[in-house]
Amino acid sequence: MSENASTLCLIYCRVSSAKQVTEGDGLHSQEKRCRDFATLKGYLVIGVFQEGITGTAADRPAMNAMLATLGAQSGETVVLIDDIKRFARDVSLHFDLKAEITKRGGRLESPLFHFEDSPEGKFVETVIAAQAELERNQNQRQVMNRMRSRLEQGYWVFNRVPGYKYVHERVHKKVLTLDEKWAPVVQEALEGFAGERFATTMEVFRFLDKAGLFGVVNSKNRGRHIMQTHRILRHRLYTGHIEFPSWNISLRKGYHPALISLETYDTIQDKLEGRSRKSVASPNKGEFLLRNFVGCAQCGRAYTGCWSKGKLHRYAYYLCYNKDCSNYSKSIPKEKMESDFEQVLRPLETSADLLELMERFGTRIWNEKKKEQEKHFERMEKRVREIEKELNDKTDKFSQTKSEVIVRLLEKQIEDLEQERLRLIDRLNPQNREKEQELQSDFRTLFDSVRDVLKSPYQTWENGGTPLKRTVAKLAFSGLVLYDRNSGFRTPNLSLPYQIIHNLGTQKEGWWTLSEQVRTPMDWEADGTNLKVWENFLQALIVWSKALQDASRLV
């Protein structure tokens, strides 16, 4: 054995990514060449440190471990690297790491390069380190150019988002497709937030967590998963479109299926930005059915609920927590308020004759609205053709003009028109069109789904579970129902369907009289009948039907 037999040696190997660690042979090849070199030099290998990380990273777990081991040695220790390019891909980082090795009593060596402590040796070393940095920058540029080109063609090139997975196709190569397990879950979360099912981001997070999207959620990763929920709500990828402003990639149709429409996405963004004025009561634990539905008659603030512990039992109360209110912190027994509320619900009953009359006229207006919806889609299709013609005209002008001012103006006009075209095409997509076209089934199906609540909300309340009770309370009245702790409930504001029922049952003449069956909806407008009220009535029933469906799913 040579005179260097007592020299200790550490081997450091690096590849660029964790994937190369498991799938490639780079680390094994580097280690073998370093071991062969150590044997040739007579060095004793006492440790091998491997990792998959970019060559520009200063904080490397394996490198840090190697430096710690190096510092624990008493004499000079050789650190072997296969190639300068495996050491670092940045000139400054190369010499910083080399200085750390020297500071701990180490000496850097390589089978492919002879390190010399001379001006000429340092110059050659700097040139080779700079070449490694240049190659890294060139590779990065090539990768970015390929990624940009793919984005421009409509292909997503970054990490997949929840609800999608990557597949390899012969024509499109690597593309996103729906994840059969998680796509329906994410879609339900997005549409639920856009609608009235989820009021806050936290409710969406709890829904996704309960579905198992995040795996095991604990105190350490909870914040990260909440932020991921925010990103899911913000990501335009779910509309089936591509956009990446930092690379000047404007909105365009992507080669992946959509989970939601652009219109639904806009609704979500409006809600996140606070532009939507709709307030949705958050579901509670079922202990206080009227929380957020009943308000204090003195100040108008919604009552909250609390439990009081006695010697033998716990007692539930509703309270007004407005410190400026004369009723502040004065309790109302839960049983009393909810019993009084049932008495408010009892009178809201609809006779069989009125239900039949409402169904008959609702059907006629429903059919008229379906015809109008078809015309609406025809107008959108016409507008798409108009936009395409405008785009062709402006593109011709763009190619002919030399004025930079006109060029910028035309670019903005073309971009706006293309955005409008994409949104219209998205709404005309059969899947989104079906969602937008609420009047799909016949009116009888819709009416049957809400008939019991229209007939007697009290009976529905009495026979239903907590979600259904809260839904009935929300649907029966408009706004908070005010309650005085001394005199009970004030006269509530009825929701639109019950307003119509009340007027139908009490007025014998005027536009509420619906006995003239020969009239058409157009005739009603001509003789002063408020057709808009009936259209709003249909819209209210659609909302009711969806709310009742959600309540039944929560049971």
Same domain, 27 and 65: yes
Query: Do 134 and 206 belong to one domain?
Result: no
With tokens 């984005």, the residue in question is 151
Does residue 1 sit within a domain?
A: no
Same structural domain, 250 and 169: yes
Q: Which DSSP symbol is given to 308?
A: E
Question: Does 40 have pLDDT greater than 80?
Answer: yes
Query: Is there a domain that residue 359 lies in?
Result: no
pLDDT band for position 439 (cuts 50, 70, 90): low
Say if residue 236 is in the same domain as residue 123.
Answer: no
User: Does residue 548 contact residue 450 with C-beta atoms inside 8 Å?
Assistant: yes
Contact 69, 10 (CB under 8 A): yes
Instruction: Name the percent of the chain in helix, strand, coil, to the closest 5.
Output: 55, 15, 30
Which of 235, 251, 272 is where one domain is finished?
272
State pLDDT tens for residues 408-428: 888 888 888 888 888 888 888
Q: Rounded CA gap, 461 and 342, in Å?
A: 8
Over residues 275-300, the mean pLDDT reads 65
Supply φ then ψ for residue 399, to 5 degrees. Answer: -75, -20
At 194-251, the pLDDT tens digits run 887 888 888 899 999 999 999 888 888 888 899 999 999 999 899 988 888 888 888 8
DSSP 8-class letter at 254 = -
Residues 116 and 168 in one domain: no
Provide the pLDDT for residue 541.
80
Is 468 among the domain residues? Answer: no
- Tell me, yes or no, whether 394 lies in a domain: yes
Model confidence pLDDT, tens digit, residues 447-472: 888 888 888 888 888 888 888 888 88
What CA–CA distances, in Å, run from 207 to 193, 210, 231, 352, 550?
Answer: 11, 5, 15, 40, 13
CATH of residue 40: 3.40.50.1390
Please check whether residues 125 and 201 belong to one and the same domain.
Answer: no
Asked whether residue 525 is assigned to any structural domain, the reply reads: no
E-strand spans in 203-253? 241-244, 249-253
Of the candidates 511, 458, 534, 505, the residue with the CA atom closest to the CA atom of residue 354:
505
Q: What is the DSSP string of 468-500?
A: HHHHHHHHHBSSPEEEETTTEEPPPPBPHHHHH
Encode pLDDT of 484-494 as tens digits.
988 999 998 88
Based on the fold, state whether residues 113 and 181 are members of the same structural domain.
Answer: no
> Which residue, 11, 155, 154, is CA-closest to 77?
11
CB 113 within 8 A of CB 131: no
Per-residue pLDDT at 23 exceeds 70 = no
Q: Are 12 and 73 members of one domain?
A: yes
In this prediction, residue 286 carries a pLDDT of 46
129 lies in the same domain as 25: yes
CATH number at residue 245: 3.90.1750.20
Sequence-distant (≥ 6) Cβ neighbours of residue 405 within 8 angstroms: none
Closest CA to 57 of 12, 87, 79, 27: 87
Least confident of 37-41, 439-443, 500-504: 439-443
Identify the pLDDT of residue 531: 64
Q: What is the mean pLDDT of residues 339-349?
A: 90
> CA-to-CA distance for 155 and 256, rounded, in angstroms?
8
521 occurs within a structural domain: no
Residues 184 and 106 in one domain: no
- Residue range 397-416: mean pLDDT, rounded: 84
pLDDT at 504: 65
- Nearest CA among 540, 512, 547, 548 for reference residue 361: 512
Query: Of 514, 222, 233, 240, whose CA–CA distance to 353 is shortest?
Result: 514
Q: Is residue 380 part of a domain?
A: yes
- Give the pLDDT confidence score for residue 59 in this predicted structure: 85
E-strand ranges in 254-369 read 294-296, 304-309, 314-319, 332-333
In a domain, 399, yes or no: yes
pLDDT for position 506: 59
Q: Return the pLDDT at 247.
A: 84
Residues in the chain: 555
User: Could you tell me if 217 and 226 are in contact, meaning their C-beta atoms sit under 8 angstroms apart?
Assistant: no
Instruction: Output the average pLDDT for the chain.
Output: 82
Range of the domain at 58: 8-139
Whether residue 261 sits in one domain with residue 174: yes
SS3 515: coil
Global pTM? 0.47
pLDDT in tens, 322-337: 888 888 878 889 889 9
Is residue 120 domain-shared with residue 228, that is, in the same domain? Answer: no
Residue 484 belongs to what H/E stretch? strand 481-484
Q: Residue 316 phi/psi, 5° resolution?
A: -100, 140
* Domain C-terminal end among 409, 436, 463: 436
Q: How many domains would you assign to the chain?
A: 3
Domain final residue, candidates 214, 246, 272: 272
